[in-house]
Structure 1
């Protein structure tokens, strides 16, 4: 507080931004006074009743996993017990409030940080998160804070960073939803520095001498104080003609101050500067007498608390380290390594003093890496594994390979895919046998996660399999991954089958992989044309124990969706989404939201689908990535709602991308969207040709049963519209095969629609075909496939119109319009209205005449049936009942259900 001179304008600017909940970044050169401003702003926040969450990492602490995050979260320790299990374990590991069991997922730690921030906001309306010298954050702390800060709103954020270290905005503050207030802390003038020197050094210089000090230090308060101390050490104050005693660098100036101390004090502060955290216990164990620190404390180089030593400025510690000769520095590291209590600190000290390969040091570094990995700090662990590998003696190649591979795996876990790929490739080049197989498997995983062309993970995985010991658990693991990497259902099936055999008796830790392999086997058997083995699905689900496999966890939902068991699919996906949220796994959340969006789309719940797909898109934008299917699903919503042009653009862009990366799956789904868009736009010839291309892609991939695609009825509709009845018949045979192999509600309705259209086009018995349509609609509950059921009405209306049965056509089309309107399928509603307009030729029924459905609804309502009972009796939705009743009231000129019976009697309406 005493040093806040000449900063009133900066303080008010920063405080105003914090009050407006704008993030504030203080930048400037070292020693300019950023930390002083930072502390003053936090004092104001505390006085205003804000909750202050703060950390101030130092350079020496940047290798301490989660040290900064632990400082920042410590005031929220009481809320940890309320977190979901994975987040609670991660927070306990960060705060060291519980022993670490299984390895902590770094994503769970990020999610825990965000959850604790939410809890803090619930208890205090004003919270400030403050980080001093942000570039020294350890990687794990930085990643968790990046995640959490991007997902909170209305908070004050205060960060400081040196100008030279702030070329990349710390903590991605420039990516937040609110604008960043960036404040460059500039030099102080003579008046302010006069007060600084008088306050800190109790000295007042003449104005000419003060002006020279200001000039030579560039207005930097820390440099001004050091220069003033140098002047005061002179025998007499310099004359105007004499140069000030200003060394070439800050480091040399501080070295002069250190060299002026007695030997014991110099050694004590050197040892303190070499420790990550200079605690008194370790210093005393290294032979430091605490009185040796008195002179350094008197010189304001550092301060001594009950348990630790703190340098007054990070530059002081850096200068002390820089001033040590290499040999002296190694000897001091060795002395510290022999006495420090923390095993991770010992490993760091050993790494700094080792000059040649050393098996014991390498082993300790490996053990430290394992601890960091378990705490959820894979990036730090990767560096320690790398150091362990470099210090491994040449005669231990197996140990070296294992450590280098572990480093690569940690890089992958931290999300640094490029570095992980390079590291895995290097291990593969120098390895053979199972080590080569493991390195290639990791490289394949990286390729899959980094969205490289699909051929890369598949081909790399096959190379890994060839290198692995035949029949080993490692081979089983590789088979499991290959069942996911291969698009061909037959190849994927064979790999899944092999994985199930090899992993059947494996360790419990691979149970998740085994359940995933079973699901892949179940899924790809169906895709290959085999009958569903439901017992295999049941075994896999039982093996999960409510922990869905990342390898194939969505397969049960895909299966249930394909057989129109939408509630089961929806429940599965919501359960998995809750788990992914608890783990903080946002890429997984993104994928699950896309699956949920597709489920709602197939179920005809377009508003729910649109909301879910929008949530997926927003999350994808936060992640800086997106799933291929996300845009396609948005296009499907667009075309159902009638925005054909936007859907067409989505399909074209998706096909271009699929061609660029040779992604057959993306090509198939976008061909499906393009064909359906063309059909909805009245371009039946384009639709027929695009469906032909889609079928060719599916056949080339060996997809006898493409579970997620239902294109045959629409292909038949397109062929019938352009008169290609031969192709329509062949496609009908294809649809019959799918139905006979696996009867589903959608195939039941699709067959009825297709046969009715063909009967009309070929001059067959349309009355019988329409009767089958009605039977199909009655067989499928209204809530299950509302769009498909309404499309049956549309087809019935078209067929009846062509058969000159205009009254029946109008009745069917009016019902179709009502059902399309009830679910928000605006595109189909327009088509049905267009068909209604074509029915207008001939005798037009009275606008007061009730349709068949309106009559049935009215009679049941007049008898006192509820809307729900009427819906169940007529196999229509409650919304359709409401729409029909509204039209009945209008046509009969009544306002309530109580008048319905008398009005019907007056008109002489009878049941049909």
Structure 2
């Protein structure tokens, strides 16, 4: 991991290169914090310069050489200067030597860590710039600058820029480059936040995590356990940033490390104001503008990790108690003050009652911070908060993918609390929930059915949980009966009713009624405070329902909205593996529809990693991986992923049989077995019709259209679109089917354009390809327009290898391709012949064969036709 691809910084790199190659600019000096990437950026810029055109002089100043005359530029000067020269004479000697070596080429002097240059070297650099050389240099942000170097930009001879930390996207790209593969979204976010845009910090974090066994890889995706390993090199690096601290300043840094964000007035009330000023001046803390409170934070997240670990236990407990007292005295006005005080009280060992700990645990659970919920709920249980604490603890463990621990927590709670809550039905429902969604025990639904719960409200809750289990087991009739019974029960509480509404919403989505499904989902989400803690089953069913609605409706706008919503971030960063997996599945679906097949495959692999860590629904991730690979034409990967999907699919995945069957069909199509693929899809459509899943059925029949058998699908698709509202794509799918069934190239061309306008680029490319084939068969001049639509769609996509596209991609020989590309670029036959050492007649013969293969009539049609071919 010592070297990795250079990522990000495209603008800064371009500016450096432009400066180096434009002698009028004089140079550019970059300053920034240690480790922010200045040195690598300088090396990348210098590497682009042609030594034949520029005299490139590179030097790295150091502490060891800063006391020696010309020590900073020793790498570019002869080792033995003439004896007896004055300082001015030595300067002139060095200047003459460098100019002589340049031999008339423009001089580019690249100096890393120029703030460490000795006076003689700094003076030489200054003089070189004044005489026409270009200086590219880096400086440590807060370090004193040698006067000759500082004078260069104050006098306007060179430019000066501050190099900012990498943004989140650049940091995550660098992280993937360091590890040689994609990183699970939550892990990437946490690591890049800790590094705070500093590449050196990120490298040390990753090295420490890998060395400590805290980075694991599954399905090609890296995942961090979240346990921070501070290797000595990382601690030393942070210590070098912090430096030796006076006791009063250390107190300030420690208070902020344990209490951030802490309001400036509060900090000044418990710390020495002068020490606070010193800490801010040294950029150890930063005070942000945020209304009257003006919170103080550490200048870098890793400062806090090091300071907290180095702080003695006794002082840690005293500081935390001080912070808790401070916030409580001011009235705990902020939304998260309750949570922060509870954690401080817990860690400091000061008094805290179970009820407050439980309230804090509930607040942590509201953020899906499952690790903190687990900790606080366990403390609340131990402090006597009773069964509600046990319930929340078990729920957090279940959602975190630790069902056996959840089961053990319920066992312990039952021993401690007895059967006091048995009448409520909640222990019965929760234990079954853990068994079903955590352990994959399909029999949990039968256990619930056999449970005797007399209290009407509790009975409704038990029946609601059983209903969603029956739904996921694809026992649809029983699920519908239970759902209706719950909604008709006057005693049913908010949790039970929302579970029933969620089941209805899922059925509506599958049945082709996305608007009704959306209305029910909105009602459930608005009522979240009433069920968030009490209904863990809903945390599993609701993401499935939301995902099903947008996926079956092919609603790209709604998909984008979900992927940018708060839940996606909470699921990915809070440890909710199931939620993370569903978000990744939706990302794969969205990318696949848009033709971004590489992104789709990466997202499917992330889904596999997240769902395998959770322990359930892994088969869905493999099915998505198989489908993405099949669309790309990668038969080996599609076949192996499909085998994994078949092996992993359990009883709890029975409801998702449409996705498994679809992946199976496209894997067969990728292998060239179109008859088998169509058979799988028609059998799937029949089963979906029996189950009343018209939304899924429409998609299955459209896949039959895409595989070239529109005559089997068009009439049934017309009936479906007439029966159910469907999603925004339904009319387009039907138009595609009718045009393909009647072999109408004009209608196929029109629907291809509309598919592209709505973002369905794979469908657009396939429809355009079919139109193009039909136009070519009759020598219709509209083939050029269809070719253009196809080329534009493919240009916006990654690799695609579906059957309709393979059918219009004739193979050109390498020589035919060379000739065609030159002709498309405007070269005449004689010019092509001269450049390829051919005769003009041979060039014309090649072109005639190309025209015949591509179905075009001349040179003007070559460019779009060539863009529609695989590279």
Q: What TM bracket, shorter-length normalisation?
A: 0.3 to 0.5
| Structure with the greater alpha carbon radius of gyration | 1
